[in-house]
Structure 1
Amino acid sequence: MYEAKTVDLAKHLEEFKEQGYTVFERVYDEDTIAAWKEKFHQLKEDRAATSQNEWWYSSTCELAPKLMLPAVANPLILDFAELVMGPFVQLDNLTLAGFGSITKAEAGSRVSGWHRDRWANMPGEDYTHPLSINAISYLQDLTDEYGPLRVIPGSHRKPCGLAKEEQSIPHPDELVLNMKAGDVVVTHNGLIHSGTPNTSGNIRYFFSVYYNRTWLKHTDNHSGPNVQAIIQAARKRNDHRTMRLFGVDEHLEARANSGFLTADEQRWAEWSAADKAAIKP
């Protein structure tokens, strides 16, 4: 599913705080990417049978739990998520999507649309811990034709906005990220970013695991039988991290009312270590 390797999470955290995003390279292999593409086309075919021409699929952990749970619960990404949000990480939504191709003439020089993500706000001058983060993978290399990701570094800690006429054109402070298939970019929900129109002649595949804090509402439906089975299995293992992903946070009351006399990241590390130690074999 993902390559086991040593990753310096402290460096990624430093970059995330400074720039508003960080890229983990080659997290997913070709077989995993191929399986996600196959699932996309299966869902598209199934929906077409009911006259629904859809390109965007949510609640996909319920639709394909064996395939999707390893991505939602990827230990590398979750370890990083707990560094930036604490052990309060919930799955807001897991999205598998495709974007059709348009001509270069239709695309012109525009971008897909600058925005901050769900649960964001207009930031101040200092870094604040995000209420949500997005762990995005693209299932093909993001060449200029496939449409790279565009970010405005540092916009998660600057009170900067864009007028309506600026929201679909390149920005002078933008950075263009030509990510590789299988990379994961984790973005702060306050980061201003945009896609780029797809002119490749093929589908541009997009895979997003969007996390928020457990006291917020989630977008995906976690009440289906497959997700409920995941929760029950996690409860038997005393695996609070997996339960929290799907809206069951049995430590929330105590940890959300802890007195807050210890530095957040120190306390988070203690709680995260305790959760891991409590898991039964």
Structure 2
Amino acid sequence: MAKDLKERYEEYKELGYTVFERLHSKETTDGWIRKYHELQQNTPRNADGTLTTWFASTCELAPLEMLPIVSHPEILDFAEMVMGPFVQLDNLTIAGGERNVSKEEARNKVALWHRDRWGKVPTTERYESPLSCNAISYMVDLDDDYGPLRVIPGSHRKPITLTDEEIFVPHKDEVIVYAKAGDVVFTHNMLLHTGTPNTSGKNRYFFSVYYNRTWLRHTDNHSGPNVQKIVQQARLRNDHRTLRLFGIDEQLEKRANSGFRVADDIQWAEWAAADKAAIKK
């Protein structure tokens, strides 16, 4: 039975991540792969003649396909539960052409242990709401050849540090996440995690849908004509949630100076409900 969002939130606070299994259909993920290759063919080659393998500001490049990913209602509901109704799209990146390595080269290696943008080394084991989150969306089934995701559960609440040598080798407390096509792994920005070298000889396709709070800078360029059309339509609907995704938070001044007399989870839920009720059909 699928977890409800409250169960996920408790898991997330404890572990630093949660997996939304099969959130997207095979038809959807196959469509994303086709779009990835279309973007490759329509993008000038690099100076060395190679194809581009990572694409950023993807909502501008392919708004029809990408907007449903960043605005997926279950993911946004959860993001607002975790960060409050302050959820902005920092960046949407699609990848599929990472370097493949030999099994010998990959033996006892990981890609790079790290915490994400706006993170820090925790100073207390008390849970802190994140400044940013990653909704990592996979388009293929990860196995030992493709290279699974590795996480250190609870490292968003523990002052774990790693040397320059340790960031490239497996960790004694790691958990290996064999995500499937259509899964979304939603992580806390202070969770230590890494990929595993890809030895499959095939492309490992995935999205990084990275959210941060609206008073922080966003990495993607939201000023292009396609994103601005999304913004204009959101204004007509009085859709604060979509406006916030693209850097426009008209509620921020009032909510950032609310007095903070009510517990965050209660206040955030009230604000989120008010934003949904304000949308014009």
TM-score in terms of structure 1 length: 0.96
- Give the aligned partner of residue 38 of structure 1: 34
1:28 to 24, 29, 38: 24
Shift of 1:44: 1.6
Q: Secondary structure at the match of 1:93?
A: strand
Q: Which amino acid aligns with 2:105?
A: E
Q: Which runs of 4+ in 1 moved over 6 A?
A: none
- Show CA shifts across 1:167-195 (max 9, x none): 00000000000011100010000000000
CA distance in 2, matches of 1:177, 1:122: 23
CA distance in 1, matches of 2:238, 2:261: 28
Q: Which amino acid aligns with 2:266?
A: Q
For structure 1, the 5+ residue unaligned runs are: none
Spell out the pairing of 1:71-220 with structure 2 (5 A cutoff).
71-98=69-96, 99-124=98-123, 125-220=125-220
Q: Alignment RMSD, CA only?
A: 1.3
Q: Secondary structure at the match of 1:118?
A: coil
Shift of 1:49: 4.7
Quick one: percent identity of the two aligned structures?
A: 64
Question: Is the Cα–Cα contact under 8 Å of residues 25 and 184 in structure 1 kept in the other structure?
Answer: yes
CA distance in 2, matches of 1:126, 1:261: 20
CA distance in 2, matches of 1:114, 1:160: 11
Q: Which amino acid aligns with 2:13?
A: K
Spell out the pairing of 1:263-278 with structure 2 (5 A cutoff).
263-278=263-278
Shift of 1:139: 0.8
CA distance in 1, matches of 2:45, 2:181: 30
- Show CA shifts across 1:34-59 (max 9, x none): 11111111122222456463211000
Question: Is the Cα–Cα contact under 8 Å of residues 101 and 198 in structure 2 kept in the other structure?
Answer: yes
For structure 2, the 5+ residue unaligned runs are: none
Shift of 1:245: 0.1
CA distance in 2, matches of 1:196, 1:48: 29
CA distance in 2, matches of 1:140, 1:103: 20
CA distance in 2, matches of 1:218, 1:46: 25
Q: Aligned residues, how many?
A: 277
